[in-house]
C-alpha cells in the first residue's frame, strides 16, 4: 500500500535501538509461492491480541520486528499501534503481520499464512487471513463436514470448496478480502480442527476444480436437500447451467431430513412489523416443492413475503430450509419441513451417502452439479 511519506529517520533510529523492548526494523521474508486466498476472519474491537510470535509487521513503507509475545494492536485514526504501552511503534492500516513459520493465534485459533490488519473505525480492526489456498481448505473440512466421513465425500467437499473460493477470488466481496469465514461463504476457523484425513482429502485433490465451459463454477453446497436439490434460478433468480435441481435420494441419514418447529404469531409480527397476524399461507412453491412466496394475513390486510426472506427473519436454525408446510394452531404456527440449507448444489449428506455406496468424488460432484467437468486449475 502507498504512504504519503517515508518513516522519519529519527523514528527509524529509535526503533532500531529498541531491541530491549522487543521491536526492530528488519527485512521481510519472501512470501510463499502458490495460489493464495484472503479470508476476512473477524471484525475485532481493539485491542486485538495476536500470539505465536516473534512477528514481522510491515505496511509497505517500513517493517517492524516484534519480539515480545503476545502482540497487542490498538487503533488511532488510520494508524495501528503495536504494544503501545511499551513504546510508540505504529504502522498504517493495511499492515501485514507474519511470523517465522509458526501459526498466528487469534482468540485461541491458529491461522497459517499472514494476517492483514485494517483499521475499520476508531475501535475496530478488520482481520484478514492471507494464506495458501490449500491450507485454507484443510481448515475448512471439519467445519463444513466431518473428516470421519468416507474419504470420497470429504474429497467432493474439498473440490467444491476450492471451486467456490477461486470463483470468489475473481469476484471479491471487498477490495480487502475475497470471502468471509462464516456461513455467508465457508466456515473457517484456521487450522484449529485440521487433521490427517482433512490433509489427505486436500492433498489427493490438489488443484482440482469444477468447471463448465472452461470456467470455474460458483460451487454452492448445503447440508441436506431432503430428497431433491434446488436450482439457483428458484433461490436467487440467477439461472446457472451447473446449478440445476436434481433428485438426490442419498441423504436419508441426515438428522434434518424431517423437522418441525413452532413459532408464535407474536414472533412473526415482531419480525415483520405487523399487528393482528391471523394466518400464514403458502402461495407459491418451486418445482422441487420449496416455498417461493408466503402471505402473512392480518386483521387489516396482508403482506407477501418470499420463503427466503421468511427463513432469514425467523432464523436459519429454526426454519432449516424453505421446503416446508405450515398449519395454524391458535396463536402459533407449526412449520413442518425437510432438508437443511438453501438446497443448491452439493448436498453434503447426499455426498456422504453416495460415498458409502461406493461412488468416487468425481461422480458425486457430477451428480449434484450439472453439465460440469473436473479439471486442474493449478
Strand positions, DSSP E, 135-192: 179-180
Does position 15 have pLDDT exceeding 80, yes or no? no
At residue 121 the predicted structure's pLDDT band, cuts being 50, 70 and 90, is confident
Report pLDDT digits (tens) over 312-362: 999 999 999 999 999 997 789 999 999 999 999 999 999 999 999 999 999
Cα–Cα distances in angstroms (integers) from residue 26 to residues 8, 23, 76, in the given order = 16, 9, 24
Least confidently predicted of 11-25, 40-54, 158-172:
11-25
Nearest to 104 by CA among 130, 65, 75: 130
Q: What is the pTM of this model?
A: 0.86
Distance CA 113, CA 104 (A): 8
Return the C-alpha cell found at 54. Answer: 516473534
Sheet containing strand 215-216, edge to edge, reads 215-216, 208-212, 373-376
Q: Distance between CA atoms of 58 and 98, rounded to whole angstroms?
A: 9
Q: What is the pLDDT of residue 120?
A: 85
- 29 burial (CB, 10 Å; 0-12 / 13-18 / 19+) is exposed
Amino acid at each position: 500500500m502507498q504512504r504519503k511519506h517515508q518513516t522519519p529517520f529519527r523514528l527509524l533510529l529509535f526503533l532500531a535501538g529498541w531491541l530491549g523492548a522487543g521491536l526492530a526494523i528488519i527485512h521481510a521474508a519472501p512470501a510463499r509461492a502458490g495460489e493464495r486466498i484472503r479470508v476476512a476472519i473477524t471484525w475485532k474491537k481493539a485491542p486485538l491480541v495476536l500470539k505465536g510470535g516473534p512477528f514481522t509487521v510491515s505496511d509497505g513503507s517500513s517493517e517492524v520486528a516484534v519480539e515480545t509475545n503476545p502482540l497487542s494492536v490498538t487503533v488511532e485514526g488510520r494508524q495501528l499501534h503495536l504494544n503501545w504501552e511499551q513504546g510508540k511503534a505504529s504502522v498504517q492500516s493495511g499492515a501485514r503481520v507474519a511470523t517465522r513459520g509458526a501459526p498466528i493465534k487469534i482468540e485461541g485459533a491458529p491461522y497459517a499464512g499472514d494476517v492483514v490488519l485494517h483499521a475499520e473505525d476508531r475501535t475496530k480492526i478488520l482481520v484478514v487471513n492471507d494464506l495458501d489456498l490449500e491450507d485454507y481448505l484443510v481448515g475448512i473440512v471439519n467445519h463444513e463436514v466431518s473428516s470421519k466421513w468416507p474419504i470420497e465425500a470429504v474429497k467432493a467437499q474439498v473440490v467444491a470448496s476450492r471451486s467456490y473460493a477461486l470463483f470468489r477470488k475473481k469476484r471479491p466481496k471487498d477490495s480487502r478480502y475475497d470471502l468471509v469465514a462464516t456461513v455467508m461463504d465457508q466456515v473457517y476457523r484456521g487450522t484449529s480442527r485440521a487433521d490427517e484425513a482433512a490433509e489427505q482429502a486436500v492433498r489427493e485433490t490438489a488443484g482440482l476444480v469444477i468447471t463448465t465451459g472452461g470456467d470455474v463454477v460458483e460451487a454452492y453446497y448445503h447440508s441436506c436437500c431432503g430428497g431433491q436439490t434446488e436450482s439457483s434460478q428458484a433461490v436467487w433468480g440467477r439461472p446457472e447451467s451447473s446449478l440445476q435441481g436434481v433428485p438426490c435420494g442419498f441423504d436419508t441419514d441426515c438428522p434434518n431430513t424431517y423437522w418441525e418447529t413452532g413459532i408464535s404469531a407474536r414472533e412473526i409480527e415482531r419480525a415483520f412489523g405487523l399487528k393482528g397476524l391471523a394466518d400464514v399461507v403458502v402461495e407459491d412453491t418451486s418445482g422441487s416443492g420449496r416455498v417461493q412466496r408466503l402471505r402473512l394475513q392480518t386483521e387489516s390486510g396482508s403482506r407477501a413475503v418470499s420463503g427466503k426472506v421468511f427463513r432469514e427473519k425467523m432464523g436459519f436454525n429454526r426454519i432449516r430450509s424453505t421446503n416446508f408446510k405450515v398449519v395454524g394452531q391458535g396463536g402459533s404456527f407449526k412449520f413442518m419441513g425437510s432438508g437443511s440449507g438453501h438446497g443448491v448444489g452439493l448436498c453434503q449428506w447426499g455426498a456422504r451417502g453416495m460415498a458409502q455406496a461406493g461412488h468416487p468424488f468425481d461422480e458425486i460432484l457430477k451428480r449434484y452439479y450439472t453439465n460440469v467437468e473436473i479439471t486442474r486449475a493449478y
